[in-house]
Structure 1
Amino acid sequence: MHPPLSEPASLSLLLTWFRRVEARVGRTTGTDPARGMGALWSQERPPEEGQPTERSRWQAMARQLLTTVLFLSVLLGSCVLFIYIFWSCRPRTCDTPVCRRLLDHYLKSGNISVAPCTDFFSFACGKAKGTLAEEIKRQLQRILESSGSWHPGSEEEKAFQFYSSCMDTDAIEAEGAGPLRHIIEELGGWQISGNWTSLDFNRTLRLLMSQYGHFPFFRAYLSPHPSPPHQLVIQIDQPKFDIPLGQELEQKNYAQILREYLTYLNCLGKLLGGNPSKVQEHAYLSISITSQLSRFLRPPGQQRTQGKLFQMVTIDQLQEMAPAIDWLSCLQATFTPMSLSPSQLVVVHDLDYLQNMSKVLEKQLLEHRDFLQSHMIFGLVEALSPALDSKFQEARRLLNQKVRELTEQPPMPTRPRWMECVEETDAAFKPTLAAVFVRETFSPSTQSAAMELFTAIKDALITHLRRLPWIDEETQKKAQDKVTQVQVTMGAPEWALKPALARQEYNDTHLRPSYLQSFLSSVRSRQARIIQSSFQPSPHHRWKVSPWEVSAHYSSSDHMVAFPAGLLLPPFFHPGYPRAVNFGAAGSIMVHELLRIFSQLLLPGCCQACDNRAVLQCLENHYAAFPLPHGISFNGSRTFQENVADMGSLAIALQVMCREPSTQDSQDTHSPPSLRVHGPLSNTPAFARYFSCPRGTLLNPSRRCQLW
């Protein structure tokens, strides 16, 4: 059997055949073959016009044969091309192991008893158990519990030992409250337990902030400045109270919530050996202080509207406006080795709160200095409870359970110990754990395939922007330029791919026999790393996204999108998946994140030349018409931009929505999961055609909103 001919070989044979024909013509007629070849292609007729000769008959035969061969060649080539296109473009069954696992995942997650045209969310996700985030934490658990051999004293060894110490509940139970009592003694003791030394208020506050990472009255941290060049700057913000008493005075169960919180503080005091009557008195006044401070808290949106969210002041000015705090000494102790001065500029997020806080503290210092000390100790014990024995953690669990019942929220699921320890190890050894995770789960070939997908998505979006009728040409060009110039981190950032960056960062992390002491050492080490990064010209810690996260991110200050490895693992993405799966899951998430780049165009008044008012109103009405699962509420105006991005990306990967419905946070900028699926699908005619949805059903409405 002859091997198949290549295109050049076929052409060579055809020319050889022509030469043979010409040779025969030459021999028969006595003409030169070269002249015969010229005559073969000539349009001139010989002088003997009407009389066929032997030469003319050979020419006619050659011409007919050539025409036939060329026709058959074209026909054969067309057939081959048609067959290639048909077989390469038609949907093909994927029967590889990775596809079979994906199909098994879909079958276990879906509920085919539900009609897809009325509730596709339940149809696709109705039987899903757990989330991708939980599965990734199990991967981290397997990594941390594996028997690896690490270099003595290395950052990997410290991370694995830290996790083991966290999991050693027998040792933690045996220590009891002893390590915590030792910390309280270093802070001057506690009046409720009898041995108490009255210390300077600001000295205690300095110790809490610098040594224990605890901020009882406000938060101070390093974060990028909101304006270019986005250098790290000290920022002063509102505190985060576990129970923001004072904001919920309207609640019918407010008094009962106070009683439950009082019970919790009493329990903490007794666990530390406090006198019951003194504990009761100090707990009550601690709640009173929290309640007073909570009344001055304002949501960030309100601060932004009033132009007060980012106020630049010097430390000296801050001292004049909120004199109860010794700002320079407290901030210097917290952010050592930074050199601060009274003229140092800091960002303040709520100056009104700080001024009112100062007045409350000044009054307490005059009337109840010992109670103010107790309030700070109560807060520290609450903050350290994750590193304490089960009695402290059980007290916290009971408080959370009672408060959720009183606020009509579903109970929190019980979290296994290993999950808490994975999270604590992540917080303490993020760069090291990130490098190990990437090595174990995210190959270079996966990163390359994901980059190819992103490039295709970005190019398609740039093309699609030209077709939007509601954006004028100039705005289209600006939007296209922004998409073109965006930077991307795919799978893992540089600091996770280069473990050497982490090796110098854990020299000051010292693991102790007590898990609480190891926990505190990691807190100090983490703070020191953040401060050290501020001295770098382009700090690699400025914007850190863990590789195992399952949420994409867009940073407007860096003009960068990040797609962590957690989003580029099954069932979202795999190089061996069919294209439809990768484009529909990871691809739609990429589109969603890219649309954030010019989300400001969609806000009223931000784009004067954009004729989108009618379609945006249509979209708002469209989402408002969807029924919500029982017990879930959401703020439609707050979720509007996310709804727009969901529409643009069709549907954010359905499997990320596969989780049990939970009470929607009123501050959440995303719609409830079912709406994030139903909203985009109901605006997609192809979905209705594929599932044969009758006109007028939930996912085939009579009217659609064509924004993208």
Structure 2
Amino acid sequence: METVWTQQGSREEWSSRKTLLGWGLMGILLLGLTLVFSVLLFYTFHSCGPRMQDTESFSLLLIPPSDGLGEGVSILYIFSSSHPIPTGPCESPRCLELVASYLTSGNASALPCTDFFNFVCGNLTSGWTKESKNILQVLKEKNQNRLRRMLEASVPWPPDSAQGKTVRFYKACMDTDAIDASGTEPFTQVIEELGGWSISGNWTLPDFNHTLKILMSQYGSFPFFKAYLKPQPSFPHIPVIQIDQPEFQIPFRPDQKNYTEILRAYLSYLQQLGTLLGGDQNVVLEHASVSISITSKLFLAAKPLDQRKREGKLFQETTIAQLQEVAPSVDWLSCLRATFSPVTLSSSQSIIVHDLEYIRGMSQVIGQTPTDRYRDYLQSHMILGLVSKLIPALDSHFQNAQRNLSQKLQEQTGQSPITISFPRWKKCIEETGTFFEPTLGAMFVQETFDQRSQDTATQFFSEIQNALSKHLKKLPWMDEKSRREVQAKLSQLKGEIGAPKELLKSNPAKQDYQDINFGPSFLQTFLSCSQSLRERTMRSVLETPHSHSWKVPPWEVKAYYSISDNVVVFPAGLLQPPIFCPDYPSAVNFGAAGSMMAHELMHIFNQYLVPGGCPACDISTLHGELLCLQQHYESFSLPAGSTFNSSHTLLKNAADIGAVVIAMQAYRNWQQTHKGETILPSLGLGPYQLFYQSYAQSMCGSPNLQDSQDLHSPPVLRVHGLLSTIPTFAKVFSCPHGTPMNPGSHCQLW
């Protein structure tokens, strides 16, 4: 019976090799099994046996006869000294689950040297739809379900403990009957505290800055700009107040496709919010229209982040007094004092502004019509913004309104900026994670990422780091000074794995949530949690010496490299099966998790690969290899409906290729100190073949799911474009010269 490996060559070629092997066996027997000889390629006769090949020296291993080979015939595996020798199959439950996954997803009829992506992911991708998910999305959902089971488990936590309050909040969020029974009364009380609004009829003309100050300090709502305390980017990283653009709910661009329909949808949404709060439809329509006009003007005053970076205006240092002159419509000192109490502030206090021109334009929008009627509109604009912010804590009528808006926007734009369409339990997990992240993160790590996992992942990362450090010497285009700079970054690099160190060391039961009050309504509880989080965050920034703060919770599946802190983060949520497991053969872990680790490290090279980033480098060689890489990826055809810009994804493509090269080298180094390697049963894959299988499996996904903002190439190119330019892949799969996965030449950036 032919295997997928024997299909790769012709029957005549296979027959000749079988004959050659037979003469070799006869010769060995006649010489008393003492003659060592050289051959180029070898196939096993067993349908589940791995095919090995060799280019250096050989050792012999006799395997007892097995079914299908004929009586009295032994299998002779020929191992290169550069290949790990399998010590046996891994038959742990985790390994058997992975084997089942590989067999289910793979397409055995596809030829690895012709279409490796189809060979690994074929049965998955054949059924992809718009609702389908890639491997990481599937893993993210598994992690969310784990969190759900933990929060819904019948564990008798003490009610005042950190875990008890975490679970209590989640259950209060899930109690939609109680939330609906409260109706609009809880939010009506909030409106009264803000001075009321004319939409409901009961109000007195409020002071704009008084309302803004309450919104910022008590509700964490920033309708016109964001203000937060964060360490300054440069040494000595002193905490400083920073002012930035607000988070616009809807990107209002007149040149946007279906712009008019988008405005109509948002206007209908705001009108529905106002009427739910007791407003007259006609009055609400008038105020909602002006609110949209205000948001549109603010959005047009804002500069894109890339433009601010290019113009060097991302971090503009000024004082509160100077800011008051630039934007006089806001009482800056009063608002900032209330927001950042107990920090002592004066007019001479230095602050950082991220878009000074936007702040100037924003002030003009606020003060453009200094009449009571316009102040009335501003009040409604701020309250409508607060309603949208607090919808997760309001009754189902408000949530349905936002869900309908989300669906309409998705129809008009293809994607929705509002994530309200998923089940209630997911939204409640999201809110619980926001307010109780230290406790929920510790609970997740304790259940899913034990000390063995932590130690194994840390060892693997160390191997990746060392392999990259050694590989630096092999980059012919890099000058010595740049090489030393990268070496210094690597030696000083901090790898944080699993969860933040303080979370791993701390007892989740000792988290301080004493200031959180569970009110008679979920909205009151929600607001108390929001206030507690703001105060904890500010205390942390003021009291803790500068250190890297994680941008993702421990249960997330996103790794990242922080350039400013020179820290790479791999959360426990990512280092889960099928990406990583201590029980897996090392080839699997290095192929998937190891490549992801190396990918983040490769971003250290980004500044040297961009035009003008490495003037002392061998520019001709560097540009030649980058051009080779770009043209190589462009040579592959993509499925209908998928798009990709090779120049847009060039840095990510370079990082992908370098990552797999480094991960493979790290795996080789690992084998030198950890003799022997298990394999996965029933797959017929040798360790190096399993390495590439594992990498490709982590890339399985539909190109039609590609986000237009994603800087990575589509999944099929992250497999074909990458592996076809790595000679080692063609070697371990014996891909004939000229096949798609073994083209005539290879780019040699790394």
TM-score interval for Structure 1 and Structure 2 normalised by the shorter chain:
0.7 to 0.9
Quote the Cα distance in structure 1 between the aligned partners of 2:238 and 2:639.
44
Q: How does 1:664-675 map to 2 (within 5 A)?
A: 664-675=706-717
Match for 2:255 among 222, 247, 250?
250
- Which residue number in structure 2 is paired with residue 345 of structure 1? 350
Equivalent residue in structure 1 for 2:85, among 90, 109, 134: 90
- Aligned-pair distance for 1:590? 1.1
1:680 counterpart (713, 722, 727): 722
Pairwise CA distance, 1:469? 1.2
The 5-angstrom pairing of residues 179-328 of structure 1 reads 179-245=186-252, 247=253, 249-328=254-333
Distance 1:166 1:668 in 2: 33
What pairs with 1:116-131 in structure 2 (closer than 5 Å)? 120-126=116-122, 127=124, 130-131=137-138
Residue equivalent to 2:649: 639
**SS in structure 2 of the partner of residue 363 of structure 1:** coil
Give 1:621's aligned amino acid: Q
Aligned AA for 1:555? S
Asked whether the equivalents of residues 598 and 659 of structure 2 are also in contact (C-alpha less than 8 Å), the reply is yes
- What is the CA distance between 1:420 and its match in structure 2? 1.1
Q: Which runs of 5+ in 1 are unaligned?
A: 1-73, 76-80
> Which structure has the highest helix share of the two?
1
What is the TM-score normalised by the length of structure 1? 0.83
Q: Deviations over 1:412-456 (max 9, x none)?
A: 894121111111110010011111111111111111111111111
| Structure 2 CA distance for aligned equivalents of residues 541 and 506 of structure 1 | 23
Change (3 A) 1:204 1:257: same
CA contact (8 A) 1:438 1:496 kept: no
Alignment of 1:455-604 (within 5 A): 455-500=462-507, 503=510, 505-539=512-546, 542-604=549-611
User: In structure 2, what is the Cα distance between the partners aligned to 1:706 and 1:488?
Assistant: 28
In the alignment, residue 85 of structure 2 is paired with which amino acid?
R
- Match for residue 26 of structure 1? none
Contact 1:224 1:232 in 2 (8 A): yes
SS at match of 1:235: strand
Q: Following the alignment from structure 1 to structure 2, what is the Cα–Cα distance between the partners of residues 294 and 324?
A: 18
Distance 2:644 2:240 in 1: 34
**1:91-170 pair list within 5 angstroms:** 91=86, 92-112=88-108, 120-126=116-122, 127=124, 130-170=137-177
User: What is the alpha-carbon distance in structure 1 between the residues aligned to residue 222 and residue 594 of structure 2?
Assistant: 41
Please tell me whether residue 380 in structure 1 is matched to residue 390 in structure 2. Answer: no
**Residue deviations 1:71-97 (CA, integer Å, cap 9, x gap):** xxx99xxxxx97799799323422221
The answer on 1:178 being equivalent to 2:185 is yes
- Pick which of 532-541 and 435-444 moved more: 532-541
How much does 1:631 deviate? Answer: 4.9
CA distance in 2, matches of 1:528, 1:598: 38
For the residues of structure 1 that align with 2:119 and 2:424, how far apart are their CA atoms? Answer: 33
Letter in 1 for 2:266: Y
Distance 1:410 1:279, change over 3 A: closer
Q: Distance in 1 between matches of 2:61 and 2:734?
A: 31
CA contact (8 A) 1:549 1:566 kept: yes
Contact 2:163 2:509 in 1 (8 A): no
Shift of 1:275: 0.3
Residues 216, 379 of structure 1: 8 Å contact kept: yes
TM-score w.r.t. structure 2 length? 0.79
> Cα offset for 1:216?
0.6
Check whether the contact 1:223–1:542 (CA below 8 A) recurs between aligned residues.
Answer: no
CA RMSD in angstroms, aligned pairs only: 2.8
> Relative to 1, partners in 2 of residues 1:122 and 1:325: Cα closer, same or farther, differing over 3 Å?
farther
Matched with 2:374 is 368
Query: Aligned match of 2:629 in 595, 611, 619?
Result: 619
For 2:659, the equivalent position in structure 1 comes to 649
Runs (5+) with no aligned partner, structure 2: 1-33, 36-58, 63-77, 126-132, 661-691
Call closer, same or farther: CA 1:579–1:504 in 2, change over 3 Å: closer
Cα distance change on mapping 1:420 and 1:626 into 2, 3 Å: farther
Matched-pair contact (CA < 8 Å) for 1:181–1:272 = yes
Q: What SS class does the counterpart of residue 199 from structure 1 fall into?
A: coil
Q: 1:99 to 1:516 in 2, by over 3 A?
A: same
Is 1:403 aligned to 2:409, yes or no? Answer: yes
Q: How many pairs were matched up?
A: 629
> Could you give the per-residue CA deviations for residues 531-562 of structure 1, whole angstroms, max 9, x where no partner exists?
10122242567445422121212222222212
Could you give the per-residue CA deviations for residues 566-623 of structure 1, whole angstroms, max 9, x where no partner exists?
A: 1222111111111110110111111111112232111211212222111112222333
- Kindly provide the amino acid, as one letter, of the partner of residue 616 in structure 2: A
Change over 3 Å in CA distance of 1:371–1:123 after alignment to 2: farther
Instruction: Determine if contact 1:639/1:669 at 8 Å carries over to the other structure.
Output: yes
Structure 1 range deviating more: 537-546 or 250-259:
537-546
Sequence identity percentage: 54
In 2, the alpha carbon distance for the partners of 1:521 and 1:122 equals: 52
Q: Would the alpha carbon gap of residues 154 and 319 (structure 1) be closer, same or farther in structure 2, given more than 3 Å must change? A: same
Preserved CA contact (<8 Å) 2:324 2:332: yes
1:478 Cα deviation from its structure 2 partner:
2.6
Are the equivalent residues in 1 in contact too, given 2:407–2:416 (CA < 8 A)?
no
In 1, Cα distance between equivalents of 2:705 and 2:323 = 39
Decide whether the 8 Å contact of 1:431 with 1:502 is kept in 2: no
Distance (whole Å) between structure 1 residues aligned to residue 279 and residue 739 of structure 2: 64
From 693, 704, 707, give the equivalent of 2:746. Answer: 704
CA distance 1:310–1:283, shift in 2 (3 Å):
same
CA distances 1:225-272 after superposition (whole Å, capped 9, x unpaired): 221233332211111111121x2x123421111111111111111111
- 8 Å Cα contact 1:225-1:233 kept in structure 2: yes
